Structure 1
Amino acid sequence: MKTPAISRRAMLLGAGAVTAWAASPARALLAQAAKNALPTSVESLLSQMTVVEKAGQLTLNAAAWAGSAATALNPAGAQTNFEGQLAEVRQGRLGGVFNGNGAEMARQMQLVAMREARLKLPLVFAADVIHGFRTVFPMPLAEAGSFDADLAERTARVAAVEATAAGIDWNFAPMVDVARDPRWGRGIEGAGEDVLLGRIMAEARVRGFQGRKGLKAADAMVACAKHFAAYGAAEGGLDYNTVDVSERTLREIYFPPFQSAFAAGAGTTMAAFNELSGVPATANHWLLTDVLRTEWGFDGVVVSDYTGDMELIAHGFAADEREATKLAFLAGVDMCMQSSFYINHLPDLVAKGDVPMARLDEAVRRVLAMKVMLGLFDDPFRRIDVRRERTRIGTPAHRKVAREAGAKSIVLLKNEGDLLPLPRSGKRIALIGPFVQGKRELIGPWNVYGTDADAVDLLTGVRAALRDASMVTATDGSGILEPLPGGIEAAAAAARAADIVVLAVGEAQTMSGEAQSRTDITIPAPQMALAEAVAAVGKPMVVLLRHGRALALDGAVKDAPAILATWFLGSESGPATADILFGAVAPSARLPVSFPHSSGQAPYYYAHKNTGRPNPPGDRVAFKARYMDVPGGALYPFGHGLTYGRIAYSALDTGDGVLASGGKLTVRATVTNSGSRAADEVIQLYVQDVTASITRPVRELKAFRKVRVAAGASETVEFTLARGDLTFIGQDLKPTVEPGKFRLWIAPSAEAEGVSGEFTLA
């Protein structure tokens, strides 16, 4: 089985992304809004609105009737009760709420808007549906490791079906930030370190959330590409921290996934918390207006992040609430989340002439246009149906997709002596570690609506996979951050009584996600002590990593003969892991981020520059770019992942080795599986521009294919390169292509040799 090649040529770069957005139905409607040409009834409503009612449409607050998970995911702020929020709706002071508590809440609020408010403008209901609603899927970073856009679209589609059944119109996802520093905990929401993979996943998730039938469909919710821009480049991997990168880096690394999301039709975007070169993104006119609006032609809604406008004061960019409101609004933020600054200050700013009425109307039209696109003017209750909510959530079909996604997100990092897959009978297995049993630490960070109580743990999954469930024991051995009295002794005893040890160690859910930055990205010390003690027993040991980021592995964990990166897999965590452990599903995922040797290497990513003093392969050379205390490169690089087959690459064919101007170059390689099991291999094409007017990375991913290679069989894989695939941002900050020599690799990872050669761009 072969999946189609996905290359940069297939993605919409630069002007191509703008063209695609301009041709989309969402763009057409939003363009009408900008030109004062909404449907007559809506335009008539706009003309009747007071300034307060207009500011109300631009105000989005956390739902007063919300679940405890939603409350815990954001900092404490001014709270209101549900009756108080209904009063705001009656007065036209609220355009929508987010992270509310289901269809009944939405029904009650929408009834007040449609029966008791003066102009009867429908509310919009938003939520953070990051990796599933009640059915929880692998965290997005893990799912990106599937290298499977179809899978990402399908999980996003299920999330949309469930969320819209609970009344949600608007999703604050996908996060499309490129994240190259594993210390930054929020990397769990994105697709990792690579631009191409980020673009592909951004497009797939937008398609899944919004559906392919149009946004008026009852199971469609408008997507929000976030966080614009470069949030993932925070200094030191510290959340909310300063970002200071060049415009070239923005255009080459951090902008492209947003362009792809907009090309796929994403109707909204969210301003980032961080500053860019001294100007906070929430008040950055160049970013939100010059680039986003004027250059790219985006006319969707721009919403602040949670109190992002308020934070302009702490940044030292605005003196007070009034100035923060003015700066954010004039920079291009249409809608204010949670601070209530717009409803509190825009009316006075307009009255005194500090904000033009035309700018106010422009923003209101965009919000109304979004509500028109969502069909809320046709039927304000189209996604609010308590009966439908009971039947569309957590269905067996949805759980089946979650299990598939979980298995396809697990990366086999190491498998010495073919220890995996494990036999389903005849061996006593000891499951050891704080992640082996119990309804905890399963769904991962940033999930508002799913619960561990509805998820399946590892022990349950393994028992179901074994022919004799009595052959498995479970012992915690340690807490996540604290030792357990007698825990190590009990774990060592369990290991001695077993034939095989499966050790599950890693991070708690609360150690990754927003505001969860770590300077030391290692496994906590109590778990490492457990690992050393269990390894000392001498039984074959499989390590299952539970984690939300790339980890720096050490000691007995690093030295274990078999290691699986199992991330946070969601509702079907246990069964999905068991599917891989026992070979019911072949491992096919690859790392979307590089695992460094040490925390001190962060940020580490494969597409780095050479420097003027690159260290040659092999041992450390004096006065070259290399750390004194760790090897060069990654412990496990981007794209790495093993299979249960034995894969070899051979027979590179680059034709005549010349890519003519306006032509194409087809390159081929043979992939052979000499093992006894079929394998799903992710074959990756990398290129290096050897000499250019702007220094280029040592490798860049240009395409990949996932290919099923039968046992004992070979497959010839073909990629086609065009001139546009070699584009970079030149000295004039414009896309350019320069003739010259290029290296290429068809390989199983970003640092593997695979087969390599050269070609010339004429």
Structure 2
Amino acid sequence: MTNDKVIALLEQMTLEEKVDQLLQLAAAFYSDKAEEKTGPMSDLGLTQETINLAGTTLGVSGAKEAIRVQKEYMANNRLHIPTILMADIIHGFRTIFPIPLALGCTWDEKVVEEMAAISAHEAAVSGLHVTFSPMVDLVRDPRWGRVMESTGEDAYLNSQLARALVKGYQGDDLKNDVSRVAACVKHFAAYGAAIGGRDYNSVDLSEQQLREQYLPGYKAALDAGAKLVMTSFNALNGVPATGNKWLFRDILRREFNFDGVVISDWGAIQELIAHGVAKDKKQAAKLAIEAGVDIEMMTTCYTDSLEELINEGAVDVRLLDEAVMRILQLKDDLGLFENPYRGADEEKEVAIVFSQEHQDAAKDIAKKAIVLLKNEEILPIKKGETVAIVGPGANSRDILGAWSWQGKQSETVSLAEGASALSSSVLFGTEPFDYFTPSDTAIDEAISLAKKADKVILSLGETSEMSGEAASRSSIRLPKEQIKLFHTLQKYNSEIIVTVYNGRPLDLSDFDDAKAIVEAWFPGSQGGNALAEILWGISNPSGRLSMSFPESVGQVPVYYNVENTGRPYEVAPDEKYVSKYLDCSNYAKYPFGFGLSYSHVTYSGLVTSSKLSMEKPLEASVTIKNTSSLPVEETVQVYVRDLVGERVRPLKELKSFEKITLEPGEEKKILIHITESQLRYVHIDNQWRSDEGEFQLMVGPNSRDLLTSTFQLIR
């Protein structure tokens, strides 16, 4: 269908049909079971006619159901306009991959793109057209529950991975490649900066911070072609995002040139009333349509009020036409006018969803996301060693995370199962082990196993309900009974390896005496196999943190790219009158970019050309050597500091990274190029440009352990 035909279709629509095209309803409204939709219909006060006209649908599952819903929808639609079926496919459909924060720890665009492509394939063959992903909210506060959906604390890394996710979901030909789905970038904007790390809370950011740190991830996803943008729940500097004309008309539409669909988050338009910027649904509708929100998810402000607002002259009908046009254009971009059942195929669904090929990919990607935080030469586990696997995570299948909509714990591999497949010398208990209140019997069994073993793997962590949406925490330590269990087991066996399943950075200071700490995150369907292969050395760990782990929650937010102060801690950390805490350092316990392997890699010989100009990039090189007997995948990280700027600049900023593989004893010289455009930042006039003067170039395996050289930018 050409754009002219879309315009012609718009011209045939009545005002009511246009307004209802802006409504998104959940799958229950299209159920073929009357008892499932009677309650929701009553709650929203909807008629069957409005349901028949609602433009998009949320949460339909399975090819058979998707085909049924679409067929009935089009039969009930006067112009036979298809609906769009949307859902939250965050890190896998049925095959569940590591949570996005863990995917960030791969530092690997190809891996992330592969995850998105597989997720899209499973979703598309099951009848879905749009995923509400990627979430590119930059996050610096691990108390926020939705940190698990982000790829971390750095604008550059987030941007690189945002592009990869969009490419993986959408491919190169969304209209004709029915194995792909449209991507919706969220949440616009700055949802991850919620005050106090409390979900749905307000955000108060300078425009400089917004532009430099938070907007680049969204912009990268849009530049990669993302078809939709979702509003955030929060108010930004006093204006709720869903009614924020500056965000959506000025920045998103005009500056970023986005001409796709904007959708509210669940109920967010009506929440303008609770925010206190609208007195009723009518005013909320006016604010949202004027801000540029095209689709209202699961409230009826538009349906109840837009016709009246237009007839009164309070809202220009052209705003409605623009919104409907964007929705129809998305339907055309997806090829739904020609193929309303796009991709849905019951037979292929059986073969593709949760296929062995996809499970193998899930295991490989989970291994790349696992981060080795500490190792006192206890790992990898050696052949023949007797190992006890104990703790609440030992037999747990609750390792998919809070956003694994179609994932099944019954199909998930536990750590005990994964380890047993590798070694016949594994001991594990049969008593259920609660994460919060383990029974005396379970604890006694763990002690008994620890006594018999050469080494103990103590599997700890969060349950899936402890992170994710509406799961903010004021304390980011593990439950006290897990800490107590660690200290109890130490009395019987000091050779303890702590593994952690979780959805956020944690305060792990309670486990300083552990011989090793392995951050497994919520690793997905093949998590137990992946973690076991890391522990037994089948794979050499290569994950690097995409978000810093604090020494204490009192440091939060703690992140690597902090700005300098007038009394810098770094100059005199032992002095009192500098910017510091009295009871801990300023630094993260495990910083951004950090992660160990079973190899030893050295960095040496950082050499830079002395000057960089507008036309000529900086050229630098560094030598990386694997001095161990194991091959290793190393992530070489490049940071820059602007020593004198118009604004105070961060102490370091990630500018590039490269993953390399080194064989035992192998040495490589890595070439680095820095262009003038990479040195730009937001000046006082809110324009991006660079400053002449002196800079530092820093190269190393993480944001802390760096070689440093200086160079000049000249005009």
Same fold, judged at TM 0.5 (above):
yes
TM-aligned CA deviation for residue 394 of structure 1: 0.5
Partner of 1:7: none
Task: Return the alpha-carbon distance in structure 2 between the equivalents of residues 81 and 219 of structure 1.
Answer: 37
Please say if residues 216 and 373 of structure 1, whose CA atoms lie closer than 8 Å, have aligned partners that are also in contact. Answer: no
In the alignment, does 2:51 pair up with 1:87?
Answer: no
Please say if residues 477 and 491 of structure 1, whose CA atoms lie closer than 8 Å, have aligned partners that are also in contact. Answer: no
In the alignment, does 2:277 pair up with 1:322?
Answer: no
Partner of 1:540: 495
In the alignment, does 2:13 pair up with 1:49?
Answer: yes
Partner of 2:479: 524
- Structure 1 regions of 5+ residues with no counterpart? 1-28, 30-36, 68-75
Aligned counterpart in structure 2 of residue 672 of structure 1, from 605, 625, 635: 625
TM-aligned CA deviation for residue 85 of structure 1: 8.7
Aligned counterpart in structure 2 of residue 549 of structure 1, from 504, 521, 533: 504
1:445 and 1:162, CA in 2 relative to 1: closer, same or farther beyond 3 A? same
Amino acid at match of 2:416: L
1:328 and 1:648, CA in 2 relative to 1: closer, same or farther beyond 3 A? same
Please say if residues 504 and 543 of structure 1, whose CA atoms lie closer than 8 Å, have aligned partners that are also in contact. Answer: yes
Aligned counterpart in structure 1 of residue 689 of structure 2, from 732, 736, 745: 736
Q: Secondary structure at the match of 2:429?
A: strand
1:651 and 1:77, CA in 2 relative to 1: closer, same or farther beyond 3 A? farther
In the alignment, does 2:390 pair up with 1:432?
Answer: yes
In the alignment, does 2:386 pair up with 1:422?
Answer: no
In the alignment, does 2:115 pair up with 1:155?
Answer: yes
Task: Return the alpha-carbon distance in structure 1 between the equivalents of residues 4 and 455 of structure 2.
Answer: 68
Deviation per CA, 1:149-175: give whole Å up to 9, x if none.
000000100000000111100111000
TM-aligned CA deviation for residue 594 of structure 1: 0.3
Matches within 5 A, 1:610-759: 610-616=564-570, 619-655=573-609, 657-753=610-706, 755-759=707-711
Matches within 5 A, 1:69-88: 79-80=40-41, 87-88=48-49
TM-aligned CA deviation for residue 101 of structure 1: 2.5
Please say if residues 434 and 476 of structure 1, whose CA atoms lie closer than 8 Å, have aligned partners that are also in contact. Answer: no
In the alignment, does 2:78 pair up with 1:125?
Answer: no
Deviation per CA, 1:358-397: give whole Å up to 9, x if none.
1111100000000000000011112232222222200111
Size of the aligned set, in residue pairs, is: 708
Partner of 1:139: 99
In the alignment, does 2:17 pair up with 1:38?
Answer: no
Q: Secondary structure at the match of 2:606?
A: strand
Q: Secondary structure at the match of 2:28?
A: coil
Please say if residues 488 and 533 of structure 1, whose CA atoms lie closer than 8 Å, have aligned partners that are also in contact. Answer: no
Q: Secondary structure at the match of 2:512?
A: helix
Task: Return the alpha-carbon distance in structure 2 between the equivalents of residues 511 and 640 of structure 1.
Answer: 24
Task: Return the alpha-carbon distance in structure 1 between the equivalents of residues 698 and 9 of structure 2.
Answer: 59
Q: Secondary structure at the match of 1:487?
A: helix
TM-aligned CA deviation for residue 472 of structure 1: 2.7
Amino acid at match of 1:442: I
Q: Secondary structure at the match of 2:621?
A: strand
TM-aligned CA deviation for residue 43 of structure 1: 2.3
Task: Return the alpha-carbon distance in structure 2 between the equivalents of residues 77 and 419 of structure 1.
Answer: 59
Partner of 1:599: 553
Task: Return the alpha-carbon distance in structure 1 between the equivalents of residues 51 and 345 of structure 2.
Answer: 22
Task: Return the alpha-carbon distance in structure 2 between the equivalents of residues 618 and 639 of structure 1.
Answer: 25
1:385 and 1:87, CA in 2 relative to 1: closer, same or farther beyond 3 A? farther
TM-aligned CA deviation for residue 91 of structure 1: 4.1
Please say if residues 215 and 222 of structure 1, whose CA atoms lie closer than 8 Å, have aligned partners that are also in contact. Answer: no
Please say if residues 547 and 568 of structure 1, whose CA atoms lie closer than 8 Å, have aligned partners that are also in contact. Answer: yes
Task: Return the alpha-carbon distance in structure 1 between the equivalents of residues 684 and 333 of structure 2.
Answer: 41
1:226 and 1:206, CA in 2 relative to 1: closer, same or farther beyond 3 A? same
Q: Secondary structure at the match of 2:374?
A: strand
Deviation per CA, 1:283-329: give whole Å up to 9, x if none.
00000001111122111000001001011001001000111011111
Partner of 1:509: 464
Q: Secondary structure at the match of 1:64?
A: helix
Task: Return the alpha-carbon distance in structure 1 between the equivalents of residues 177 and 20 of structure 2.
Answer: 26
Task: Return the alpha-carbon distance in structure 2 between the equivalents of residues 477 and 58 of structure 1.
Answer: 49
Task: Return the alpha-carbon distance in structure 2 between the equivalents of residues 577 and 128 of structure 1.
Answer: 26
Q: Which moved more, 1:345-354 or 1:202-211?
A: 345-354
Amino acid at match of 1:341: C
Q: Secondary structure at the match of 2:660?
A: strand
1:50 and 1:188, CA in 2 relative to 1: closer, same or farther beyond 3 A? same
Deviation per CA, 1:242-266: give whole Å up to 9, x if none.
1010111111111101110011000
Task: Return the alpha-carbon distance in structure 1 between the equivalents of residues 704 and 564 of structure 2.
Answer: 14
1:524 and 1:88, CA in 2 relative to 1: closer, same or farther beyond 3 A? farther
Please say if residues 196 and 701 of structure 1, whose CA atoms lie closer than 8 Å, have aligned partners that are also in contact. Answer: yes
1:694 and 1:171, CA in 2 relative to 1: closer, same or farther beyond 3 A? same
1:406 and 1:734, CA in 2 relative to 1: closer, same or farther beyond 3 A? same
TM-aligned CA deviation for residue 77 of structure 1: 13
1:146 and 1:617, CA in 2 relative to 1: closer, same or farther beyond 3 A? farther
TM-aligned CA deviation for residue 760 of structure 1: 1.1
Partner of 2:529: 575
Q: What percentage of aligned pairs have identical amino acids?
A: 40
Task: Return the alpha-carbon distance in structure 2 between the equivalents of residues 497 and 65 of structure 1.
Answer: 57
TM-aligned CA deviation for residue 475 of structure 1: 6.2
TM-aligned CA deviation for residue 451 of structure 1: 1.5
Task: Return the alpha-carbon distance in structure 2 between the equivalents of residues 634 and 90 of structure 1.
Answer: 51
Matches within 5 A, 1:342-491: 342-416=302-376, 418-423=377-382, 425-438=383-396, 440-466=397-423, 468=424, 470-474=425-429, 478-491=433-446
Matches within 5 A, 1:275-294: 275-294=235-254
Please say if residues 477 and 488 of structure 1, whose CA atoms lie closer than 8 Å, have aligned partners that are also in contact. Answer: no
TM-aligned CA deviation for residue 213 of structure 1: 2.7
Amino acid at match of 1:419: I
TM-aligned CA deviation for residue 714 of structure 1: 1.4
Task: Return the alpha-carbon distance in structure 2 between the equivalents of residues 177 and 90 of structure 1.
Answer: 33
Task: Return the alpha-carbon distance in structure 1 between the equivalents of residues 198 and 38 of structure 2.
Answer: 22
1:496 and 1:103, CA in 2 relative to 1: closer, same or farther beyond 3 A? same
Q: Which moved more, 1:94-103 or 1:510-519?
A: 94-103
TM-aligned CA deviation for residue 584 of structure 1: 1.2
TM-aligned CA deviation for residue 56 of structure 1: 1.4
Task: Return the alpha-carbon distance in structure 2 between the equivalents of residues 616 and 229 of structure 1.
Answer: 33
Aligned counterpart in structure 2 of residue 210 of structure 1, from 165, 170, 175: 170
Please say if residues 455 and 493 of structure 2, whose CA atoms lie closer than 8 Å, have aligned partners that are also in contact. Answer: no
In the alignment, does 2:213 pair up with 1:253?
Answer: yes
TM-aligned CA deviation for residue 125 of structure 1: 0.2
TM-aligned CA deviation for residue 338 of structure 1: 0.6
Amino acid at match of 2:496: M
Task: Return the alpha-carbon distance in structure 2 between the equivalents of residues 50 and 127 of structure 1.
Answer: 28
Partner of 2:712: 760
Task: Return the alpha-carbon distance in structure 1 between the equivalents of residues 237 and 384 of structure 2.
Answer: 62
- Structure 2 regions of 5+ residues with no counterpart? 32-36
Please say if residues 620 and 626 of structure 1, whose CA atoms lie closer than 8 Å, have aligned partners that are also in contact. Answer: no
Task: Return the alpha-carbon distance in structure 2 between the equivalents of residues 461 and 193 of structure 1.
Answer: 31
Aligned counterpart in structure 2 of residue 588 of structure 1, from 542, 549, 556: 542
Task: Return the alpha-carbon distance in structure 2 between the equivalents of residues 672 and 90 of structure 1.
Answer: 64
Amino acid at match of 1:422: I
Please say if residues 273 and 279 of structure 2, whose CA atoms lie closer than 8 Å, have aligned partners that are also in contact. Answer: yes
Task: Return the alpha-carbon distance in structure 2 between the equivalents of residues 257 and 359 of structure 1.
Answer: 28
Deviation per CA, 1:88-114: give whole Å up to 9, x if none.
47742x112111232222222211222
TM-aligned CA deviation for residue 736 of structure 1: 1.1
TM-aligned CA deviation for residue 126 of structure 1: 0.1
Please say if residues 432 and 476 of structure 1, whose CA atoms lie closer than 8 Å, have aligned partners that are also in contact. Answer: no
